[in-house]
Structure formats: C-alpha cells, structure tokens
Structure 1
Amino acid sequence: MVKINEFAVESWMDAYENHCKYNIAETCCASISVDQLRDLSDNKTREVIDASKVLTYGAIRGSDELRNNLARLYSAKTATPLSPDNILTTPGAIQANYLTTYALVGQGDHVICHYPTYQSLYEVPKQMGADVDLWQASPENAWVPIIDDLKTLIKPNTKLIILNNPNNPTGAVLNKSFLQQVVDIASEKNIIILSDEVYRPIFHSISPLDKDFPPSLLSMGYNNVIVTGSMSKAYSLAGIRIGWIASRNPELIETIAAARHYTTISVSGLDEQVAAFALHSSTVHSLLARNIQLAKTNVALLEKFVLKNDDECEWVKPVAGTTAFIKFHREGKPVDSVDFCKKLHEKTGVLFTPGNCFGEEWKGYVRVGFVNHTEIIEPGLAEATKFVRKNLDDVELAG
C-alpha cells in the first residue's frame, strides 16, 4: 500500500473554510458566478454554455475551443506559437501536477522541489517511489532559493525539478534571470522542469515592463519544460474544476496523455465550455484586470495590517499571486501557529492557515489569502488586529 501522509493544508480547509465569517485563508481570486462571468465579457449576448450540446465524453484531450484559447495565451509575446495539440486538460491543476508526476517519475528517480510550497508537489513524487530533496527558500533571501544550492542537489538520477512560480504560500516570484539559470542547469543534464504556474498572471507588485519580469517557463526556449495551470486561482472559477498541462515537447505530452487514459478519460464538457468562455479574448482581459486590481487593493490593506502589528508580526511582502506568509511572535518568540489560528477563528470568525501546513520548520507563520472580496478582507483584518492586541498573550508559543 502506498504511504500517504496527511495533506495538511487541505485537511485544514476541509475542517474550517465553510465555518468561518471572514475567509482570509482562501487562495482563489474572489470567485464569480456564470452570470458575473458573462457580465465581464465584451459580448453580453454570447451564451456561456450551449445547452443544446449532447453530453458525451466530448474531446478526450480537451475541447478545441479551450485548448485554442490556452495556446493563444501561451503564444503571446513569443516567437514560436504553442500548438493546441501540446495542451491536455485536467480536473484542476492538482490533477495536472499529479498526472505529470504519475507519468514521469518512479522508483530510482530523484526529484528536486522548490520549497516551501503546496504539499502535493513533493509528496506525490514520494508516493511514486522517488527520492525527493527540498530546495529550500528563506525569508532572508525574499523567499527565493539559492542557485548554488540547486547545483549541489543535482544527482546522476535527477529526473525532475519542480518549481512553483508565483509561489504558494509566500507570494514570491522567480524572475526571468533566475529562471534562465535554472534552465541552464537542467539543460546540461536534460532534466525535466515542471513549473506549477497556477497563480500566473496575478502580478500585483511587479510591472510587466520590468526587464526581469518572470515569463511563463514555457517561453524560455528549453524543450523539456512542462507547465500546469488552472481556472481556480487567477481566473476565479474554482468550481468548474478545470486545469491543464502544457509543454513544447510532444514526447512529454504523449507520455502524459497515455497515462491520463487511466485516470481521466475526459474532462467535464460543461466545465470546459465555461473555461473556454472565460479565456476567450472578449472576456479574459476584463477578468484578469478585475482580479489584479482586487489583489492590488487588498495587498495594500494587508500591508497596513502588518504595519499596525509590526511588534507582533513580520513578513516579506508578496510580489504576485494571492497569498502571503506572515510570522507572528510574542516577545520575539514564535507563536504556535495552529493554536493562533484556532483561537483567532474561535474569537473572531477570521480564518488564516497555520504555517506548519507547509512544514514544521515554519514556526509562527500563517498563510493569508488576501484576494477574496475586499468586503471580507478589510473587516476580517480589523478583527484580526483586535485579536492580536487583546488575545495574543493567550496563544501558546511554538515548541
């Protein structure tokens, strides 16, 4: 039997996210309805779903319309367009990442994973029998790992390097020059890179005009790259459960497609219609503009919260995505983040996520999801400030 460790962050969300007043643990840009999606489109008369369409399995690898729209987005500002044939749809990015690992990694392989990050990115390779090393970042280096550390982690059997960019939980980005160094290292030994890019393109604190602005890894010119994404985070449509896998290497896509037959058959045709509508050129720009502005508004509120409570907390301000990693302490000693989050929830109805969901070493840290509706974030942070000032002394310290 495969040894499966508890998926800590998902267990926490399962227990609390539907029982809170202020969900500031949510990692999706504030979700929208189908009606709201239509309102964001330039074409208000176009139906989101074709109700007359017969509900067969549909296109096995993903609908043409959806894959064409994704290919167009990945082909922007690149010399070589991406073919829709190089994209597979999946039930969410969590399945995209699982399927990629399932297809490519096994006993005797070595995997290096950017860390801290979403637990499944390093746990699933372990379940497949691989040896996994964590390429650890630190707040002292703005949550960007050290390139020389990556070089020392490479082994003769290294099969896969896994990145998460923008990063969950820190909101850090790996910039263009950094990514080029990773590509150079991987290409020397023909190592595959998997880049989880579910938080692209929510860049709220870095400009696309910045010369080191991080592109999708798919546009860096290295053939052995796989990127994954989804409609959940940047596109506010977690409920339709649509993700994808894309690569410029047809052999990798065919290998994953062969494995996909055992797990997926096809993705919901209704969900794919909604996703295709959202990613159509008449809709996607308004949708992303709405979410990037929401992120900018709310990260400013979160920055004010940190400044108000700077005797009790510290952070590296996130650059992109929807999450921040904030450390709480009392008289210089980190709090027990689980006890902090439980008591915060009990006293105020505010939900944060304990940092130990991302590793026991992150003592005192909590993950904050700040791109929910501003009407939730602003009063929720006000309640959290009251808690810090009145109740922090009641919170246990980390062991």
Structure 2
Amino acid sequence: MVQIEPFAVEQWMDAYENTPGVLNIAETCVASISIDYLQALCIDKSKPGPLALSKKLTYGAIRGSNTLRERIAALYTEDGVEPLSQDDVLLTQGAILANFLLFYTLIGPRDHVICVYPTYQQLYSVPASLGAEVSLWKLKKENRYIPDITELETLVKSNTKMIVINNPNNPSGSTIPGNVLGAIVDFAKARHIIVLCDEVYRPLFHSLPRGKEAPPSILSFGYERTISTGSMSKAWSLAGIRLGWIASRDKSIVEAVAEARDYTTISVSRLDDQIASYALSDDVRPNLLRRNLDMARTNLELLDRFVQKHKDVCNWVKPTAGTTAFVQFTQNGEPVDDEAFCLDVLSKTKVMFIPGSKCFGHGKDFKGLVRIGYVNDTAVLEEALKELSSFVGQNLSSRI
C-alpha cells in the first residue's frame, strides 16, 4: 500500500477555516471574485459573458478547448523565446492534480528527486509516497530563501530524475532570479534531469527591488525537459473553478501525463474551461492582473507596517512576489511554539494563519514561523492585523 504523509497544511485549513467569525489570513489565493465581477472587468462590455448556456454539457474537449490552451500557452510568451503551442498544454483539475499526475507518471521507486524546502508539501511528499528517494534543497533565510546553486553538487545522484522548484515560493514569497533559474537548468541539462517548476503564483512579481526584472518561466531557457504547472486559483482569483495545467515543450512528457490522466478525470469541466478562457482573454486578463497586483502591493505594505511596529518580537524576509509571507514571532528572544501560538491567536482573536514547523517543516525546522496569506480582501487583512497587533502587544511584547 502506498504510504502517504498527512498533508499538514490542508488538514490545518480544513480544521480551522470554518471557525465562526474567523479572520482568515491563511488563504493563499488573491481575493476570489464572482462571475459578475469578472464580467465587469471586461474592456468591451458589448461582448458576451463567459458561459454559453446553450452548449450541451458533454465531456467537451478531452485535453481542454483549443481556445483555453492557446491562451495559457500565450502566458509563457517571452521575447526571443519560441512560443508555446496549444499542444504543449494539458488541462487538469487545479495545479494540485497537475503536480500529482506528473509525479505519478514520471517518478518511481528507483528514482531520486531533489526538492526545494520549504515549499508546498505535495512537491516532496508525493514523490516519497511513490517510493522515490527525496533530498531536500534547504532554502536559507540569510539567502532570502533563494536556492544556493552550489549545493546541487552535494545533492545530485546518479539516479536523480527530477529537480523540483517553486517560483514564486510558497510560503516565503521569495523570487528565484533569472540567473539562478538559468544555472539550475544548465545543471539539469548536463545530466538529462527533468526540472519541474510549480509556477502557480506566476505572474505575481509585485514587489521586486527597483531595477530588477521578473524572471522568465522555466520553459524559457531552451531545455526541452522543463515543466511548468499553473492554475487559475492563486494569481487569477478563480479557485472555485478548479482549473490548472501542465505545460512543457517535451511532447513525450505531455503525452505520458495525458495517458495517465485518462485513468483519473478524463477532462475538465466544460463550464470551468469557458470561465478560464474568458478570464485569460485579451479583454479581461489585463484588468484582472492589474487588480491583483495592486491588491498585493497595497496589502503587503499593511503587513510590512505590522512587522515594523512589532520588530522587537517579529521578523521576516519581506516577500517580493506571490501571496504568502513567512513571519517569525519570538518571545524573550526565542522563537515561539508556532503551533501553540497559532491556536492561541485563533482562540482569542479569530485570526487564522498557518504554523510553519507543523505545516512546512520537520521537527524543529521553521520554529516560530507562521505563513500569512496577505492578498485577501484588504478590509479583512486590516481587521486581522489590528486584532493580531493587540494580541502581540499583550502577550509577547509586554513580557520582554
């Protein structure tokens, strides 16, 4: 029987996100929107809405409609890089299924996988459950959670099949710069290793240092054995349609995953396909992305002011992208018990976020760190930070 580790972050969300009156700043999607709101973003108001209600609800196009796959392929357009085609894209029920199918299809008991850490637990627990050996490529706070390319030499093995990265990173909100991505690809190409990059938070590069450009997708470096996964949930505010994708220039990978997918979901919902196509159209996508980038910048500054106000007991590496921040709380100079801290905060203030050592680490890794999802409704974040500020002032700062 396959041995699967409990998915700690999802179980925490399931247990506490429906607490009555909860101020949820654990959520990782940019504040979700309705279909009405999506239509209001459309530049050309004369165009029909996203749903063709007269269409029969068949399975639809098995790999996804041509329109949607073309629009997803266009998201990977980079200057000087060969464009992706619709055949390089395969739709799935969310990026979580995209990642699972890739591991299920490509990874087995004799393989070795290198995965960045911390990251979304699925990216290392699923390969391990399939019998692969997994080495964690530990990201360091002092390096702003950017992978140290020199460490790959100590991690790689003769049977290394895949390197797994996450850009922008969950939970830290860090960005892997283009030159580091290029070095990872060069390292993998020399050894014929697959590179999987979970890019669900792309293109939310909202707070890069002045003069720094957003890094290209992993598919932009001229190495065929690279894979990107993405979804409509995080950067595009449409988690409810459960639509993600796999994109790769390696036809054999796309075909192998498509064959495995036949045993699971066959196709994505025809309704979800239509809504995603509408959201990624030229009439809607620019306004939706602008809205989400503006909200990310506004809310990040609110969180930054909170951290600065409580810098005696609170520290972080300020995120440059994505929707999540990894914030450490201390008491008397020592990291708090983050799980107990999260439960105490929830009980006394209704503010909910995620304990780092339980949901992103092993043992004492990330002690005192919590993941905060800050790109929810600004009013919710403001109220949550007000409550949290009062709690911190009474329970941490006052004892120093």
TM-score, with structure 2 as normaliser: 0.96
Structure 1 stretches (4+) deviating beyond 2 angstroms? 75-79, 207-211, 391-395
- Please name the residue that 1:331 is paired with: 332
Q: CA deviation at 1:142?
A: 0.5
Distance 1:184 1:104 in 2: 21
Per the alignment, residue 6 of structure 2 pairs with 6
Q: Which digits, 9 at most, give the CA deviation of each residue in 1:203-223, with x for residues without a partner?
A: 111179635x31111111111
Equivalent residues in 2 for 1:283-294, closer than 5 Å: 283-294=284-295
Aligned to 1:82: 84
Partner of 2:356: 355
CA distance in structure 1 between the aligned counterparts of 2:261 and 2:18, rounded to whole angstroms: 32
Paired residues of 1:90 and 1:267 also in contact (CA < 8 A) = yes
Partner-residue secondary structure (3-state), 2:75: helix
Residues 316-349 of structure 1 show CA distances to partners (whole Å, capped at 9, x for unaligned) of 0001000000010101111111111111111111
Whether the aligned pair in 2 keeps the contact of 1:78 and 1:219 (CA below 8 Å) is no
State the secondary structure of the residue aligned to 1:329.
Answer: strand
Amino acid at match of 2:243: I
Looking at structure 2, the residues matched to 335 and 75 of structure 1 have their Cα atoms a distance apart, in angstroms, of: 44
Deviation at 1:77, TM superposition (A): 2.8
Query: In the alignment, which residue of structure 1 is the partner of 2:320?
Result: 319
Aligned to 2:396: 392
> Structure 1: which 5+ runs fail to align?
none
1:229 counterpart = 2:233? no
Deviation at 1:394, TM superposition (A): 11
| Aligned residue type for 1:336 | D
Contact between 2:73 and 2:85, CA under 8 Å: does it hold in 1? Answer: yes
Pairing 1:197–2:196 present: no
Choose from 345, 362, 365 the match for 2:369: 365
Moved more, 351-360 or 316-325: 351-360
Q: Tell me: CA distance 1:29–1:78, structure 2 relative to 1, closer, same or farther (3 Å).
A: farther
Aligned equivalent of 2:129: 127
Q: Structure 1 residue aligned with 2:155, among 138, 153, 156? A: 153
Shift of 1:127: 1.1
Equivalent residues in 2 for 1:1-399, closer than 5 Å: 1-19=1-19, 20-45=21-46, 46-206=48-208, 210-211=212-213, 213-356=214-357, 357-359=359-361, 360=363, 361-392=365-396
Is the 2:5–2:129 Cα contact (8 Å) retained in structure 1? no
Q: Which amino acid in 1 is paired with 2:382?
A: E
Deviation of residue 25 (structure 1)?
Answer: 0.6
CA distance in 2, matches of 1:72, 1:313: 41
Map Cα deviations across residues 182-231 of structure 1 (whole Å, 9 max, x no partner): 011000111000000000011111179635x3111111111100100000
Cα distance in structure 2, aligned partners of 1:12 and 1:263: 26
* Corresponding residue SS for 1:382: helix
Superposed CA deviations along residues 263-292 of structure 1, whole A, max 9, x for unmatched, are: 120011101110010001111110000000
Instruction: Report SS of the residue matched to 1:74.
Output: coil
Residue deviations 1:40-60, cap 9 Å, x none?
Answer: 111223211001110111111
Shift of 1:76: 4.3
Identity of aligned residues (%): 54
The 3-state SS of whatever aligns with 1:193 is strand
Name the CA distance, whole Å, in 1 between partners of 2:109 and 2:6: 22
Shift of 1:258: 1.2
Please give the secondary structure, in 2, of the residue aligned with 1:75: coil
Alpha-carbon distance in 1 for matches of 2:264, 2:117: 27
Q: Secondary structure at the match of 2:131?
A: coil
- In the superposition, the TM-score normalised over structure 1's length comes to 0.96
Question: What letter matches 2:276 in structure 1?
Answer: A
- How many residue pairs get aligned? The number is 394
Aligned-pair CA distance for 1:256: 1.1
